[in-house]
Amino acid sequence: MDALNETSSQSIRGDPSNRSLPNDGTGVIALDPSLEPFAPSLKSRYTKAQQWLKTIEQHEGGLEKFSRGYEKFGFNVSPDNTITYREWAPNALRAYLIGDFNGWNRDSHEMKRDNYGVWEISFPPVDGRPAIEHDSKLKISLVVPNDHARQERIPAWITRVTQDLSVSPVYDARFWNPPHKYQFKNPRPPKPQSARIYEAHVGISSPEPKVATYKEFTQNMLPRIHKLGYNTIQLMAVMEHAYYASFGYQINSFFAASSRYGYPDDLKELIDTAHGLGITVLLDVVHSHASKNVLDGLNMFDGSDHLYFHEGARGRHQLWDSRLFNYGSHEVLRFLLSNLRFWMDEYEFDGFRFDGVTSMLYTHHGIGTGFSGGYHEYFGPNVDEDGVVYLMLANEMLHTLYPNVISIAEDVSGMPALCVKLSLGGIGFDYRLAMAVPDLYIKWLKEKEDIEWDMGALCHTLTNRRHGEKTIAYAESHDQALVGDKTLLFWLCDAEMYTNMSTLSVFTPVIERGLALHKMIRLITHGLGGEAYLNFEGNEFGHPEWLDFPREGNDNSFHYARRQFNLPDDPVLRYGMLNSFDAAMQWCEEKYGWLHSPQAYISLKNETDKVVVFERAGLLWVFNFHPSASYTDYRVGVEEAGTYRIVLNTDREAFGGLGRIKEEESRFFTTDMGWNGRKNFLQVYVPTRTAVVLAKEETLAEGWKSHVDLGFGY
């Protein structure tokens, strides 16, 4: 859980770029003076990052060349169709390439070793054509010193692997060299000012109990996401993982796009099509750990325990049952940095959400550790400085080579300077995830009556962040959808989810409450919680069931490994109303841009009335969380004088509300008298469990009302 205290959350200053700052990694102290006692640690990690940059410059020609490792390692085909394969395996005594191309002869194609433990073999073209057939199977066969036995491995830099579960769970490596390369048609879209992120998993993106494909996602999901108003997609579980039920977190082939969903070109088409719609596409990248598989992973690749990973216990994650990278290794840095470049260059992703960052930052990996927000927890012997420095280098490389790149950190600890640039001593991410917010909602829905909801605590949790570092707010992500937990709407309505979500049934108090709070939770999170917003696919319409992949424990069922997009499309069901509200919310943000506007000013947190009022991006937000009380002519403060109209109203019938507010008749005029610390006030009707967002009348485009109703934008 993010556990920043009040002092730390408010201590960040403005951008110091125009001030004279020290060039030793302590520039961040100008942003946050509370970091002063930890200047030695800041200097140490900054110095180590600079040493790596210097070493890479001297020995590799710079970070740009160093991160092109995929052009040297793995399989590369020259213009004359000569194939060259290289693999780093210093512990091996001998190495051979075997496969369909030589009838799996284990001795016919021996590789040569250089002084650095890199094995190489070349194949001249045959009649002008590549000597190895496209998409044919192959492996590297190694003789290891332990017992001089032969062992076959999947090449570490392979770009395509396939799995035939009817034969074996072990993956096959394939030589991917299509005669016609995919040609991208659309340029990358501009970096969004406000990132409205749709977190998605290709395989579950179908109502049918099956593994959906890249092509189906392109055809069915991209238009839906675009219509909803999201401008960024975060694709999960794309890097090839050994076990489908792991949600993509046991990577065995880091350069291969999962073949479960189709061919590499199908993924390229997906990204290209998204770009054509103006949608940015991020990859969920897992550099925090790797599958422990030996036969088709990196583990024990050359017979040693320490090739890519730390040796012994330090190289194993207790809870994840996986291997941990040695970020202090020159070749591991080449592998991981090149992996990022590969996904950016080959597939034209626009950036990354780095998974498991907490595990990378600390030697304890966050296991059994609670973070109180005390700064001593972020520095000292528990910090894995090599992991910190790798993330510094990764962000520096990405932002230098791709100015519009987006990098997101999934960190539960609240590490200071995570989203501050390297030159100031920061780690360099663009955004961090506000992981405390969904925890609060789940806790309250489990433990509190509605009347017990604490408006001050709600506002504190939504705003208690490092305001010099951008935060992504969300009410629920895939973590809350996974089996063992329940989605927010399920917590709200599970007693009647399967009986009363139809418009043909009675609109019961349970469903009325569930729909109302589902919209209000999302809206206040969107408006108050950060500088970007994230939603996990299906939750925009209150997906009724959890997420559980086929596994032995559920008889390998696909029943819960899908998203039921048939539900919002059915006009008889109320899911479509939630879907329409979500679209209206996203398109309203597109018009007013509150996510990239300064932090909100909260003028009221009334515990008795259960009312919250704040202003952001020139909009006035009024929330009434009271379970039974409605308020007529409720006085709220507002800084800017003028005439206001409603641009969002959770109680609209089209959104599953009761239609108690007559929007077409509602114009709100300010009175020139101070109220709640603001220069003016106006009076508004706010029914129970309703939120309204007001804008100055002159900001409204002609025809705005009908557009909001349809959820298509302004």
676: CATH: 2.60.40.1180
**pLDDT in the model for residue 615:** 98
- Please give the torsion angle defined by the CA atoms of residues 552, 558, 563 and 569, in that order, rounded to the nearest 10 degrees: -160
Residue 164 belongs to some domain of the structure: yes
> Residue 477 is which amino acid?
S
Please, are residues 230 and 582 in contact by the beta-carbon 8 Å criterion?
Answer: no
Q: What is the pLDDT of residue 7?
A: 31
Q: Do 110 and 125 meet the contact criterion of CB atoms below 8 Å apart?
A: no
CATH code for the domain in which residue 100 is found:
2.60.40.10
Burial class (CB in 10 A: 0-12, 13-18, 19+), 157: buried
Comparing C-alpha atoms, which of 434, 394, 407 is closest to residue 352?
A: 407
Q: Residue 142's domain spans which residues?
A: 70-174
Residue 678 pairs with which residues in a beta bridge?
Answer: 675
Domain boundary among 155, 174, 193: 174
- Reported residue count of the chain is 714
**CA dihedral sign, ordered 521, 525, 526, 532:** negative
At residue 21, the pLDDT reads: 84
Q: Distance between CA atoms of 38 and 32, rounded to whole angstroms? A: 11
Q: Would you say 241 and 291 are in contact if contact means Cβ atoms under 8 Å apart?
A: yes
Query: Is the residue at 346 inside a domain?
Result: no
Distance of alpha carbon 287 from alpha carbon 337, whole angstroms? 10
Give domain status of residue 125, yes or no.
yes
The amino acid that residue 66 corresponds to is: F
**Residue 47 is assigned to a structural domain of this protein:** no
CA distances from 402 to 52, 57, 578 (A): 20, 19, 37
Task: Please say whether the beta carbons of 480 and 487 come within 8 A.
Answer: yes
Planar angle of CA 212, 197, 536, nearest 5 degrees:
50
Report the run of H or E that residue 479 belongs to, with start and end: helix 478-481
CA proximity to 25, closest of 58, 2, 53: 53
Q: Could you give the CA distance from residue 119 to residue 105 in angstroms, rounded to a whole number? A: 18
- Give every residue of the chain whose pLDDT is below 50, as ranges: 1-15, 18, 706-714
Q: How many domains does the chain have?
A: 2
Domain boundary among 105, 140, 174: 174
- Residue 595 domain-assigned (yes or no): no
The confidence score (pLDDT) of residue 479 equals 84
Q: Of the residues 122, 144, 174, which one is the last residue of a structural domain?
A: 174
Q: Is residue 161 part of a domain?
A: yes
pLDDT at 482: 79
One of 350, 355, 476, 537 is an active-site residue; which one? 355
- Return contacts of 450-456, CB within 8 angstroms, 24+ apart: 450/513, 450/517, 450/625, 450/627, 451/610, 451/626, 451/627, 453/610, 453/625, 454/607, 455/605, 455/606, 455/607, 455/610, 455/611, 455/612, 455/625, 456/605, 456/607
Note the pLDDT of residue 702: 55
3 state SS for 325-337:
ECCCCHHHHHHHH
Residue of 475, 388, 378, 473 whose CA lies nearest to 433: 473
Helix axes 330-346, 385-401, angle to 10 degrees: 30
User: What was the pLDDT predicted at 369?
Assistant: 84
Residue 394 lies in a domain: no
701: exposed, middle or buried (Cβ count in 10 Å: 0-12, 13-18, 19+):
exposed
Spatial CA neighbour of 419 closest among 485, 468, 371: 468
- The question of whether 355 is a catalytic residue gets the answer yes
Q: Are strands 619-624 and 611-616 parallel, antiparallel or unpaired?
A: antiparallel
Out of 240, 302, 410, 531, the active site residue is 410
Tokens of 705: 């009302």
d(CA 347, CA 182): 10
In a domain, 428, yes or no: no
pLDDT of residue 245: 87
